Amino acid sequence: MPILEHLWIILALPLAGAASNGLFGKNWSKTIINSVGIGSVSLAFLSVLEAIREFSLLPDGQVSFFKNYFNWMAAGSFKVDFALQMDHLTIVMLLVVTFVSLLVHIYSAGYMAHEEGYYRFFAYLNLFVFFMLTLVLAANIVLMFVGWEGVGLCSYLLIGFWFLKQSAINAGKKAFITTRIGDFGFTVGILLLFWTFGSVDFGTVFAKAANMPAESATQAGVLTWICLLLFAGAIGKSAQLPLYVWLPDAMEGPTPVSALIHAATMVTAGVYMVARMHALFSRAPIAMFVVAAVGAITAFYAATIGLVQTDIKKVLAYSTVSQLGYMFLGCGVGAYAAGIFHLMTHAFFKGLLFLAAGSVIHAMGGEQDMRNMGGLRKQIPVTYWTMFIATLAIAGIPGFAGFFSKDEILDAAGSGSDAHLTLWVLALAGAGLTSFYMFRLIFLTFFGKPRFDEHKVHVHESPRSMTVPLMILALLSIVGGWFAAPHLLGKTDHFEAFLHPVFATYGVPAGLEQRASLAGAAGEQGGIFATPAMELLHAVTGPPVVLAIIGLLVAWWFYVRRPDAPKKLAESVHGLYKLLLDKYYVDETYERVIIRPFLWISANVFWHVVDENVIDGTVNGVASVAREVGGQARELQSGNARSYATWVVVGAVGFTVLMLGVWGMVR
Amino acid sequence: MSVVPVSYYLVLSAVLFGLGVIAFVFKRNIITILMAIELMLNAVNLAFVAFARAWGQLDGLVFVFFVIVVAAAEAAVGLAIVIRIYHNRQSLNIERANLLKF
Amino acid sequence: MEFVTQHAVLVVSLVKIVILLFLTLTTLAYLTWFERKVVAHIQSRWGPYYVGAHGLLQPLADGLKFLFKEDVTPPGADRFLYILAPFLALSLALTTIALIPFGPATITILGQPTQLIVADVNIGLMFLFAITSIGVYGVALAGWSSNSKYPLLGGLRSSAQMISYEVALTLSVVGVVLLAGTLNFNEMVSDQDGYYRLLPFIPRWHIFPQIIGFLCYFTSAIAETNRVPFDLPEAETELVAGFHTEYSSFKFAMFFMAEYANMLTVSFLATILFLGGWLSPFPESWTFLQYLPAVILLGLGVYLGYDAVAGARGIARIQLVVITCGALLLGALCLLPAVMPIIQGPFWFLLKVGGLLFFYVWTRGTLPRFRYDQLMSLGWKLLLPVSLANLVGTALWIIFPLLVKHG
Amino acid sequence: MSLPFILFFVFALISVGGALLLMMAREPIHSALSLILVMMSLAGLYLMLGAEFIAAVQIIVYAGAIMVLFVFVIMLLNAGVEERTDYSKMAKYAGIPLGILLLLDLAHWMAHSLIGETPANGAGSANVMISTRELSMQLFQKYLFPFEATSILILIAILGALVLAKRDE
């Protein structure tokens, strides 16, 4: 059946699942709920595959498939259709979203087995999938915004899933409100976009934008503003500086949620959006630089915080933030493909990391603090190995997925047309730190002596439904990057080539054009590495790899060889340690600088002054005026029917005189 | 045999209507006021019939029927209300039934 | 004189009115005598006997008595209305008779076609009802104006009674109107001419298909005229003499006559509507029947003559002789070929009316009086629904063949 | 001055006089009777206009039913002389003049109405009586629905009157 013609089916499936589970699931057995939830997602995945097959059959000239289903709203020239589109970028996202969420669903079946509101959880998950797919498939920015907000909503619901836990509730609120701040920018961006191009359709907008000249790097034009505003939304959604604060707290939610929403899919929506909007971004150098800078700084900054965190999920959260930073850096320097590539690989290994962490927590009976773990290597081998693979991947050890993608980003940042040395350095440092804190996590968790009471905690391997997804993801974390492998031998990067048509469509400036096809790009970068072999050698012994190895060794030294060393170090540089441990006091600063004044103003100005005096005053004033007028007018109501009768006669006389008089005149 | 022009009837009906209106505001007794209303209705009926004859159409007469029916209904309900008022206030003077005011 | 030639119609109807008025008043007077006699015989009494032969001069004597009685007007009475009421009652009662046809539409008197009816209106029935409906005012005003509580109660009662029974009366007649398809008395009567095809010996009088209507009609007619057993307005036991308690002398007589006039009217109407008016129940072929009036009159004359010779004494004998002569004379008159065709219609008509009047008196002689609530419930809860049902049934009866014909 | 004119003026005078009497009389019962007088004379006018059925209905329903109801209520409540209070200044000073003004205005325009001169009984020779048959055709075919509606109305009126007048024990 032609899925491509009916892309809406892909959306409808999870929505149906969500609806049925959410409405009727309360009285259903876990089996039914599972079959509905997982079934709908797997069907969605299959239909995505089918859609891709059909897409591949399209004539070569056609870059994207567009279909308009119905007119959603129309106000004057402002017209929004419910239209979906599909191109290579969408395909990547679709695959990642549906597949990862499928795995997470399966995983959740095991992980949440003993939870209250099981049906609720799956309904939310399905709903999330629906909105994420909407976001990805949307053919205009308004519809995209719908998905954008929808995933935000689901994130809120799922973070606060245990709504009896105050911390969970607060975390949910925090996530929602913080992203709102970004979304405000996003909304204004949309308005500006419409005001500029007179349309919200991607196709139209990009086509118009393609005819505009690239703006100068010195002063900002309208494109720059649009991009910056949209990017504000991305900052909120993808937890970049300065709005990243909600993501660590979001770890209050169930671990599968963290894996799916706060690592693999939702948080990458910002990156996707930037990549989708490349036609605008690549014409706004300032915006590009901002993106890159924010990305790089965040990457480094979050990594530093990650160094000292003790909660296993918090570490992963900060690492997510920093990895997202890498993706933005990639987009910022024009290597969209690299950004998306990293997005994909990151989805694999970070999802895996979270799931594995979840498995660890499961095994430890809810314990999240790494200081109370250790030596789990033997008890839960599957978790251990998969997690180790993921760590290798994220650390960028050659041969694993993360290596390729991160290498491309760094490469672009360091030697690209829009390269910035500082950013490159930051990113490199971040890479080193990443490798350090990830291995720190591994060592603390799985090596050394158990630091918990083994009689109390009964460590056990997770059920099959949890381990199988781990294995699958582990496999992907290894092979997921090999599209790009030939690149190291100076051949084409398949992934990039696959996405090339998308980024080539709207007359992208020359600098990126070269990047897009990397065949022989290395040759230009410096004559010294002439042969493929040298190229490969250079790649695998490049600075990132070196730093990664260093990080590994340092971590090993600190946490396996000399377990007491960290404490000493911490005491020696106590200030810095404290600073990092308290995450640079960002939350406290926000509390003081923004929230408290805001509350104060709301209470003392808007409530006691504006509301009580101005608004109430107006309303009461109107009321009292009406009362006065009525009090005067009621005198007419004498209660004496004869007076009323006389008034009626007055009316009759007036009417007859008027009508008949006029009539007579006409006559 | 010469016949009376329509305008005679019309003027008569106008006069009757006017007298009805005057009685309507002049009388104090509720029953009489209802009668004044009946008088007005009758005047209107006369005009109806006169017009109907002048145009040589029957619709006017049909409307007279409806007017009569409505008058009957009005009288029935009105008089029932009058009885009510009398039971409550022991007076038929409309100016004494003046509680329904500000 | 040329006014007469100009408006011959007016003159003729004037003459008719005079004659009819004379006849009617006389009839009313002797109706009282008739009633008293019949009731007396029902109660096995003799009734009026001494004033004239068989008390035939009794009505005269009563009239004189009323004339010479003192005319009292109660203090605080509303003078105008007090006087108006009886006049209203009587005049209205008499007016209705102007609408009644006593004979066929086409007969010739003195060579020119004449109708035995004063006013042949297209919608005579409607006008008759119109006038009778005004009759209430006589009673009501009488009760109100005499400024006394018994009359007031009586007036209230009787007006309520008349209003309620008027509804049933009218409705019970509508069935006949549907059958006849007209409101004109002449056409109604001529509609009842002939016999039923299946039962050739039964005349096509409306009483046969409309028997229910007839019963309803007559019951409510008795009530409408405030006769026994529905004569509550003058229920002596409860409120003296009802609305005319305060009336004396000739005003009272007027009410009295009005009542009897109403009886007449109602009987006339019944005859026209249900009993085929002036039509003879027997086929045209029986020509010998046209001697019937003469025969009856002559027979009466003979009987009276015998009575004069045998029974009576003194003045009574003289009277009887006079009456005998009159009867014989009339009988002879009826034998004249010029008069015979004219007399046929009125003869049958009056015969039927007389029967109805006898029935009236009969009921009075036999039935006890109803209670007021019984009266009302009978009117509203029995007669009204029944006559309505009768109306609907008749309508269906008429509609059905049409439906069958036109699908 | 031919017969129709004489009749017309007689009836007109009676009706106007009745209306004035209705206004002047202090006894409600007198007002009622004068109103009946007006209705009678109107019935006569209807006859002159050839609407005999309307005339009959006028007498039966108005004079025979509605006014009887009025008289009945007057008798029931023993309504005596009307007291001429003047609490309503509005009615006292403005009422009568306004009424007269309305009367004159209407009369003026009626006198100058478009069809003023057309002979009053119909597009035909003198004294054409409207056949009741045609009238009923109109009533039961063209105006069937309004007819039914009015019957519903009168039913509701009856119920309302019952509920209102019922003595509440």
Q: What is the pLDDT of residues B44-89, one digit of tens each?
A: 999 998 888 887 788 888 999 999 999 999 999 999 999 888 888 8
- What is the least distance, in Å, from the CA of D64 to any CA of chain C? 5
| The CA-based dihedral angle spanning residues C246, C252, C254, C257, taken in that order and rounded to the nearest 10 degrees | 120
Confidence of residue D101 (pLDDT cuts 50, 70, 90): confident
Residue B22's CB: how many other CB atoms inside 10 A? 23
pLDDT of residue C233: 65
- What is the least distance, in Å, from the CA of B85 to any CA of chain D? 10
Q: To probe the interface with A, which of D109, D110, D113, D114 has the most A CB atoms within 10 Å?
A: D109
Q: Do the Cβ atoms of A646 and D95 come within 8 Å?
A: yes
Higher pLDDT, C159 or A98: A98
Q: How many CB pairs under 8 A join A and B?
A: 32
Residue of C nearest to D53 (CA): C123
Does the structure show a pLDDT above 60 at D122?
Answer: no
- What is the least distance, in Å, from the CA of A73 to any CA of chain D? 45
Residue of C nearest to D52 (CA): C123
- Nearest CA to C238 among C156, C137, C174? C156
Q: What is the pLDDT of residues A382-427, one digit of tens each?
A: 889 999 999 999 988 888 888 888 888 888 887 766 667 888 888 8
Q: Do chains C and A touch (3 or more CB pairs under 8 A)?
A: no
Task: State the complex-level ipTM.
Answer: 0.79
Q: What 3-state DSSP class applies to A458? A: coil
| DSSP per-residue letters across C187-212 | HHHHHT-SB-SSSTTSB--TTTTTHH
Phi, psi at C112, each rounded to 5°: -120, 145
Q: Do the Cβ atoms of C123 and D132 come within 8 Å?
A: yes
Q: Do the Cβ atoms of D72 and C143 come within 8 Å?
A: no
CA angle (A575, A579, A582) in 5-degree steps? 135
Contacts of A637 in chain D (CB under 8 A): none
- What is the least distance, in Å, from the CA of C126 to any CA of chain D? 6
List the subunits that have 3+ CB pairs under 8 angstroms with B: A, D
- The residue with tokens 């709102």 is A180
Contact A315, A559 (CB under 8 A): no
pLDDT tens across the length of chain C (407 residues): 566 666 677 778 888 889 888 988 888 888 888 988 898 989 888 888 777 777 888 888 888 888 888 888 888 788 888 888 889 889 998 888 888 888 887 777 766 777 778 777 888 898 899 888 888 888 888 888 887 888 888 888 888 888 888 888 989 999 899 888 888 888 888 888 888 878 878 888 888 888 999 999 999 999 888 887 887 766 666 666 677 777 878 888 888 888 889 989 999 999 999 988 888 888 878 888 888 888 888 888 888 888 878 876 777 788 888 888 888 888 888 888 878 888 888 888 999 999 999 998 898 888 888 888 888 888 889 999 999 999 999 999 888 888 888 76
- Report the range of poorest mean pLDDT among D25-39, D60-74, D91-105: D91-105
Give me the helix-helix angle, C384-406 and C149-180, nearest 10°: 10
- Nearest CA to C105 among C7, C193, C26, C227? C193
Does the structure show a pLDDT above 50 at A516?
Answer: no
**Tokens representing A41?**
């997602």
The domains of chain B, with CATH numbers, are 6-97 (1.10.287.3510)
Using only C-alpha atoms, chain C has a radius of gyration, in whole angstroms, of 23
Q: What percent of chain A has pLDDT over 70?
A: 94
Q: To probe the interface with D, which of C88, C123, C165, C388 has the most D CB atoms within 10 Å?
A: C123
**CA–CA gap between residue A498 and residue A92 (Å, rounded):** 10
Contacts of A645 in chain B (CB under 8 A): 24-25, 33
- What is the least distance, in Å, from the CA of B102 to any CA of chain A? 6
Residue of B nearest to A647 (CA): B25
Q: Buried b vs exposed e over D16-54: b needs ≥16 C-beta within 10 Å?
A: bebbebbbebebbbbbbbbbbbbbbbbbbbbbbbbbbbb
**Tokens representing A119?**
């049906």
- Residue from the list D8, D57, D61 with its beta carbon closest to the beta carbon of B8: D8
pLDDT of residue A508: 52
Q: Do chains B and C touch (3 or more CB pairs under 8 A)?
A: no
Q: Do the Cβ atoms of C129 and D56 come within 8 Å?
A: yes
Cβ burial of A70 (10 Å; 0-12, 13-18, 19+) is: exposed
The length of chain D is 169
- What is the least distance, in Å, from the CA of A643 to any CA of chain D? 5
| The CA-based dihedral angle spanning residues A432, A435, A438, A440, taken in that order and rounded to the nearest 10 degrees | -80
pLDDT of residue A510: 46
Cβ burial of A79 (10 Å; 0-12, 13-18, 19+) is: middle
**CA–CA gap between residue C89 and residue C187 (Å, rounded):** 29
Residue of D nearest to B76 (CA): D161
Q: What 3-state DSSP class applies to D125? A: coil
**Tokens representing D131?**
């056949």
If residue A67 lies in a helix (H) or strand (E), which one and from where to where?
strand A65-75
pLDDT of residue A235: 92
Q: Do the Cβ atoms of D102 and B51 come within 8 Å?
A: no
Q: Do the Cβ atoms of B100 and A639 come within 8 Å?
A: yes
Residue of D nearest to B28 (CA): D84
What is the pTM for the complete model shown? 0.59
Rounded average pLDDT over A287-306:
90
- The residue with tokens 């409505």 is B70
Contacts of A634 in chain B (CB under 8 A): 101-102
pLDDT of residue C407: 63
Q: To probe the interface with A, which of D102, D108, D112 has the most A CB atoms within 10 Å?
A: D102
Among 1.20.120.1200, 1.10.3720.10, 3.40.50.10860, 3.10.450.50, name the CATH number for the domain at D1-81: 1.20.120.1200
Higher pLDDT, B40 or A1: B40
Confidence of residue A569 (pLDDT cuts 50, 70, 90): confident
Q: Do the Cβ atoms of D135 and B32 come within 8 Å?
A: no
Q: Do the Cβ atoms of C137 and D71 come within 8 Å?
A: yes
Q: Do the Cβ atoms of B32 and D120 come within 8 Å?
A: no
**Tokens representing C12?**
């003729």
What is the DSSP-derived secondary structure letter of residue D119?
B
Contacts of A655 in chain B (CB under 8 A): none
Contacts of D65 in chain C (CB under 8 A): 133, 163
pLDDT of residue A413: 82
pLDDT of residue C240: 67
A645 touches chain D (CB under 8 A): yes
A82 pairs with which residues across the strands?
Answer: A70
pLDDT of residue B1: 39
Q: Do the Cβ atoms of B102 and A634 come within 8 Å?
A: yes
**CA–CA gap between residue C341 and residue C335 (Å, rounded):** 10
Q: Buried b vs exposed e over C180-219: b needs ≥16 C-beta within 10 Å?
A: bebbbbbebbbbbeeeeeeeeeebbbbbebbebbbbbbbb
A624 touches chain D (CB under 8 A): no
